[in-house]
Amino acid sequence: MSVLQRDPQDQVRVLDEDGTVVGEVPDIDDETLVDMYRNMRLARHFDTRAVSLQRQGRMGTYPPLSGQEGAQIGSAIALEEDDWMVPSYREHGAALLRGLPLKQTLLYWMGHEKGNEMPEGVNLFPPAVPIASQIPHATGAGWSFKLRGEEDKAVLCYFGDGATSEGDFHEGLNFAGVFDTPNVFFCNNNQWAISVPRERQTASETIAQKAAAYGIDGVQVDGMDPLAVYAVTKAALEKARNPGEGEGRPTLIEAVQYRFGAHTTADDPTVYRDDEEVEKWKAKDPIPRLEAFLRETGRLDDEKVEEIEAEIKQRVADAIEAAESDPRPEPSDMFDYAYDERTPEIQAQYEEFEALREKVGDEGFLRE
């Protein structure tokens, strides 16, 4: 039986919180398993440094990912070279694995338009900050592949639990179901849409079961178990490209997880959740969970862990240095990238901004 052919309320797991095998381990070679661990550690360290940069005034508002590494890396590893990834705004780890340099992610959150430039050959959409707006885009991309006969491609689209309350979620999944597009919709259910808890988001017992309304498959997975996430995403992507007889292409995956930090660095999570809840979820941390499994199976030891730690620290330090060495963008650049040409309203805003800038100087904008 396929891992997708199960009740959406039956959560898929491979490892328990201690890293003990409780399900079927997917067929992944040793090198890829260690790479999965390395990239999860890299994402966590990058996240810690990025938050620190923002607190020091060296970067703008930033959305932390800590706690969600298992879902991001486990799913991104399942992609094939010709597949496409459509992120929201928190998929820094997944985007890195897809080929986006850390420097680009840093530039984006530093307010530099160069952060939106995808390197040649990287099948990745730019970050989508508006909630759920990327879902119809992903469905459209999938439909275009089908219309052109490029059915060896699939589209993996990420969004949060809050996005499931938006009309774009309904429209994207409904269209995908009707036109049988090669899409995998990956819901990072991290329990909080900023300060709105999961139970105030929907009365549905699971988000995965919403798939039934669109006539597509839905599956719930332990999003802090990277092996389970990999298994489910791999199966969904393979079905999107090459469905069996009577199978539809699209799948909705609900990855149940938790963000350890704030929604963004502009958020104070202590206002709406307590430490006891956070600690309960930290006991499910995906990184020590995978590390325990790799150590137990002889794929990882202290020497290898130390080597990985040194490597990722240097890699992140180099990315920060490279990003901060780039000339800062002109403040007036913000008026140039919303439209091909400035509208009258944008032009009026630009002129007002430049007049104020001439009057008080750039330093005037930095005074409290």
Mean pLDDT confidence for 38-42: 98
The answer to whether residue 7 is domain-embedded is no
Q: Phi then psi for 256, rounded to 5 degrees?
A: -80, 120
**236 plus 273 within the same structural domain:** yes
What is the mean pLDDT of the segment spanning 359-365? 83
318 and 336 in a single domain? The answer is no
CA-CA distances (angstroms) from residue 368 to 60, 149, 364, 365?
16, 57, 9, 8
Asked if 71 and 260 touch (Cβ cutoff 8 Å), the reply is no
Residues 133 and 252 both lie in one domain: yes
CA dist., res. 176 & res. 22, Å (int): 33
Residues 195-246: tens digit of each pLDDT: 999 999 999 999 999 999 999 999 999 999 999 999 999 999 999 999 999 9
- Rounded Cα–Cα distance for residues 175 and 7 (Å): 23
CB proximity list for 89: less than 8 A, separation 6 or greater: 63, 127, 128, 129
Together in a domain, 275 and 356 = no
In a domain, 368, yes or no: no
Q: Same domain for 357 and 304?
A: no
Q: Which one from 38, 98, 259, 289 is the annotated catalytic residue? A: 259
User: Does the annotation count 92 as an active-site position?
Assistant: no
- So what's the pLDDT on residue 7? 61
What is the spatial distance between Cα 235 and Cα 294, in angstroms, rounded to a whole number? 23
For 153-165, how does the pLDDT look when each residue is reduced to its tens digit (9 = 90+)? 999 999 999 999 9
User: Which token pair is 65?
Assistant: 């990912």
- Pair (316, 334) in one structural domain: no
Give a yes or no: residue 119 inside a domain. yes
Q: Are residues 205 and 353 in the same domain?
A: no
Nearest to 105 by CA among 68, 67, 53, 141: 53
Report pLDDT digits (tens) over 287-336. 999 999 999 999 999 999 999 999 999 999 999 999 999 998 888 888 99
- Among candidate residues 200, 272, 328, 339, the one labeled active-site is 272
Asked if residue 13 belongs to a domain, the reply is no
| Residue 343: domain span | 329-363
Between 182 and 368, the higher pLDDT residue: 182
Residue 16 lies in a domain: no
pTM of this structure: 0.94
Per-residue pLDDT at 9 exceeds 70: no
Residue 135: pLDDT above 60? yes
Q: Which of 263, 299, 315, 337 is catalytic?
A: 263
One domain, residues 158 and 179? yes
Domain count, the chain: 2
Counts for the chain of helices (H) and strands (E), in that order: 11, 7
The answer to whether residues 61 and 94 belong to one domain is yes
Q: Does 141 lie in the same domain as 33? A: yes
Tokens of 146: 């089908």
Distances (CA, A) of 238 to 70, 153, 190, 333: 20, 9, 26, 42
Extract the tokens encoding 329.
């963008």
In a domain, 3, yes or no: no
Half-sphere exposure of 154 (CA within 13 A, CB side): 26
Judging by beta carbons within 10 Å of its beta carbon (0-12, 13-18, 19+), is residue 155 exposed, middle or buried?
buried
Handedness of CA 336, 340, 341, 343 (dihedral sign): negative
CATH of the domain at 117: 3.40.50.970
Q: Let me know whether 228 and 352 are in one domain.
A: no
Q: Can 263 be counted among the known catalytic residues?
A: yes
Which of the four pLDDT bands, split at 50, 70 and 90, describes residue 365?
confident
pLDDT of residue 1: 54
The answer to whether residues 227 and 357 belong to one domain is no
Is the residue at 2 inside a domain?
no
pLDDT over 70 at 6, yes or no = no
Largest CA distance in the chain: 70
- Packing angle, helices 226-241 and 286-296, rounded to 10: 90
> Two tokens at 122?
């990287």
Establish if 249 belongs to a structural domain: yes
